């Protein structure tokens, strides 16, 4: 779209959106999703931060000092130019749809006010974002306590679909592709994975999740690898502005492959913990790796023996190398086998903590402590260190279970020693295969870990 047209569109936005108690933001989306025009108003002394330097070229007018007047800012942003530049993954065109991180096109305000965002969409276009949905669904509220400009916003031609899992609403947005994603299969698969996670302590940990389903064959049409493409080759969790889980999927995979895939249960399990800083990622990734197997067993996707087999295989991948650096150092400097060491060291710690609590009298569990954590501390605005989180878990557990494991793991060059606990649980190795010994002293604990709580 030509700059003169974009500028005119920006200047004719409605002026009836000013407010003193919120930042009222109007976003008009152009046909064919070529651009957005934005007008945001608040108190007259409201200030806005400059745009991210990576995206400065896509704003119009080009000079930021011309955008602001009497507490309002107005400008246009070219989605098409940002997507075509391929400078980052923050603005991506997927078929006829667009995913655009709000940090690319929404100027952050220097304010502690919430932002109410109203979208004006072309016919047949829908919007998905992690912000609180108001009435109508094109009106949303972003809390001042969250980083609203880090949210992922999708503009697409297939209407979003909501699924309820208990009291949790999963807002599922599916992006354009050829062949198309099957909406019914996606709803079944995503809901099943979310239900697995309710088996930790009876409910899903958060009230709402934005689920973005991106077809791989639409994003990577010229993929050259000859390796078979998994049903869900990549996924990630974002917590800015709300909770988002983004799945990259092979839309040609049948439903049975989605249901057998571990990725969705793993990603949703991340929401059992608050956000942990990247240098302690072994905590969040490890707990999710532990729970992906435990919860898929409780949900009937894996039998008990197979779930223990997968955990044991993971531990083997984690300790495959001889390490000369500590786990902390490996994460900072990307040491040998870092990813596998990180994921499965954390999973080993989760197992050790779970067993330690289950063998006390009266028994507790990792499930019960995380349930208490959900009642107090799943705050999306706070970044926790691993030690802070483990200290809080000890407080909830009523004794020091987690902090000793933190120190002995983060500062060690060796993989956590899970073998004595596996032996007591009756998890036996027969070559590459695992068998279960029901005569082992903690066989009932082993069984309880993988069994759905009634």
Q: Is residue 153 part of a domain?
A: no
Q: Are residues 175 and 318 in the same domain?
A: no
233 shares a domain with 373:
no
pLDDT, averaged per 10 consecutive residues of the chain (454 residues), comes to 38 46 95 95 86 90 74 92 82 93 90 94 97 93 78 95 96 92 96 98 97 82 64 93 94 96 98 96 98 98 97 95 92 94 98 96 94 91 94 97 97 97 96 95 97 74
Angle (deg, nearest 10), helices 281-298 and 183-198:
100
- Which of 211, 244, 272 terminates a domain? The answer is 272
What are the DSSP calls for 248-264, one per residue?
A: EE-TTS-HHHHHH-SHH
Instruction: Answer whether residue 196 is part of any domain.
Output: yes
CA end-to-end span of the chain: 59
Cβ(155)–Cβ(73) under 8 Å?
no
Range of the domain at 426: 278-449
Same domain for 290 and 434, yes or no, is yes
Same domain for 283 and 261, yes or no, is no
238 pairs with which residues across the strands? 244
What does the block give as tokens for 202? 């009876």
Is 73 within a domain? yes
Maximum C-alpha span of the chain: 79
| Residues 292 and 268 occupy one common structural domain | no
- The position carrying tokens 């569990």 is 365
Is residue 175 domain-shared with residue 195, that is, in the same domain? yes
Which three-class secondary structure state does DSSP give residue 445?
Answer: helix
Contact 271, 316 (CB under 8 A): no
Only one residue has tokens 């710690």, namely: 349
Q: In the prediction, which pLDDT does 20 show? A: 62
- Looking at the fold, whether 334 and 427 belong to one and the same domain comes out as yes
99 in a domain, yes or no? no
Partners of residue 169 on adjacent β-strands: 164, 208
Task: Please give the structure tokens belonging to residue 142.
Answer: 């972003």
User: Is 92 within the bounds of a domain?
Assistant: no
296 shares its domain with 441 = yes
Burial class (CB in 10 A: 0-12, 13-18, 19+), 185: middle
Q: Are residues 257 and 292 in the same domain?
A: no
Residue 51 lies inside a defined structural domain of this protein: yes
Residue bearing tokens 């749809």: 97
Burial class of residue 49 (count of CB atoms within 10 Å of its CB; 0-12, 13-18, 19+): exposed
Tell me how many domains the chain contains: 3
- Residue 397: closest CA among 434, 366, 352, 355: 366
At 264, which CATH number? 1.10.390.10
Domain final position from 272, 306, 335: 272
174 and 71 part of one domain: no
Question: Are residues 221 and 115 located together in one domain of the fold?
Answer: no
Q: How far is CA 356 from the centre of its chain?
A: 29
CA angle 450, 398, 308 (to 5 degrees): 15
Do residues 92 and 83 lie in contact, with contact meaning Cβ atoms separated by under 8 Å? yes
Query: What pLDDT does 26 receive?
Result: 97
* 17 domain residue, yes or no: yes
373 Cβ partners below 8 Å, 6+ apart?
272, 273, 274, 392, 393, 396
Domain boundary among 249, 272, 295: 272
Same domain, 301 and 425: yes
Inter-residue long-range contacts of 2-7, CB under 8 Å, 24+ positions, other chains counted: 3/60, 6/30, 6/35, 6/37, 6/60, 6/76, 6/78, 7/60, 7/61, 7/76
CB–CB of 151/142 below 8 Å?
Answer: yes
DSSP-based three-state secondary structure for 428: strand
Whether 151 maps to a domain, the answer reads: no
As a three-state string, the secondary structure of 306-346 is: HHHHHHHHHHHHHCCCCCCCCHHHHHHHCCCCHHHHHHHHH
């Amino acid at each position: 779209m030509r700059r003169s047209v974009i500028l005119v569109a920006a200047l004719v936005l409605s002026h009836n959106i000013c407010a003193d108690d919120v930042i009222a933001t109007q976003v008009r989306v152009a046909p064919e999703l070529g651009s957005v025009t934005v007008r945001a108003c608040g108190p007259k002394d409201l200030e806005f931060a400059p745009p991210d330097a990576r995206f400065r070229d896509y704003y119009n007018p080009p000079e930021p000092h011309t955008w602001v007047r009497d507490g309002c800012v107005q400008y246009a942003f070219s989605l098409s130019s940002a997507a075509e530049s391929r400078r980052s993954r923050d603005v991506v065109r997927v078929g006829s749809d667009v995913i655009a991180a709000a940090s690319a096109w929404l100027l952050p305000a220097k304010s502690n006010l919430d932002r109410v965002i109203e979208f004006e969409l072309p016919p047949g276009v829908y919007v998905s974002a992690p912000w609180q949905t108001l009435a109508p669904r094109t009106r949303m509220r972003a809390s001042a306590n969250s980083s609203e400009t880090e949210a992922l916003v999708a503009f697409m031609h297939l209407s979003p679909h909501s699924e309820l899992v208990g009291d949790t609403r999963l807002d599922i947005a599916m992006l354009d592709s050829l062949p198309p994603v099957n909406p019914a299969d996606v709803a079944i698969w995503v809901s099943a994975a979310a239900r697995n996670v309710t088996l930790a302590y009876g409910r899903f940990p958060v009230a709402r999740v934005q689920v973005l389903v991106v077809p791989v064959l639409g994003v990577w049409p010229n993929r050259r690898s000859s390796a078979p493409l998994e049903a869900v080759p990549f996924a990630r969790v974002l917590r800015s502005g709300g909770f988002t889980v983004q799945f990259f999927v092979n839309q040609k995979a049948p439903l049975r492959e989605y249901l057998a895939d571990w990725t969705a249960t793993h990603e949703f399990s991340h929401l059992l913990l608050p956000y942990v800083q990247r240098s302690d990622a072994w905590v969040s990734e490890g707990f999710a790796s532990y729970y992906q197997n435990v919860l898929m067993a409780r949900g009937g996707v894996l039998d008990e023996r197979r779930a223990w087999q997968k955990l044991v295989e993971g531990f083997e991948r984690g300790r495959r190398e001889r390490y000369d650096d500590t786990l902390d150092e490996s994460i900072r400097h990307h040491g040998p086998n870092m990813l596998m060491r990180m994921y499965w060291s954390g999973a080993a710690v989760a197992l050790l903590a779970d067993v330690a609590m289950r063998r006390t009298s009266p028994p507790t569990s990792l499930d019960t402590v995380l349930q208490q954590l959900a009642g107090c501390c799943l705050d999306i605005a706070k970044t926790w260190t691993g030690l802070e989180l483990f200290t809080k878990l000890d407080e909830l557990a009523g004794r020091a279970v987690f902090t000793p494991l933190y120190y002995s793991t983060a500062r060690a060059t060796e993989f956590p020693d899970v073998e004595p606990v596996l032996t007591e649980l009756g998890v036996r190795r027969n070559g590459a295969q695992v068998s279960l010994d029901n005569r082992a002293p903690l066989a009932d604990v082993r069984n309880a870990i993988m069994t759905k709580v009634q």
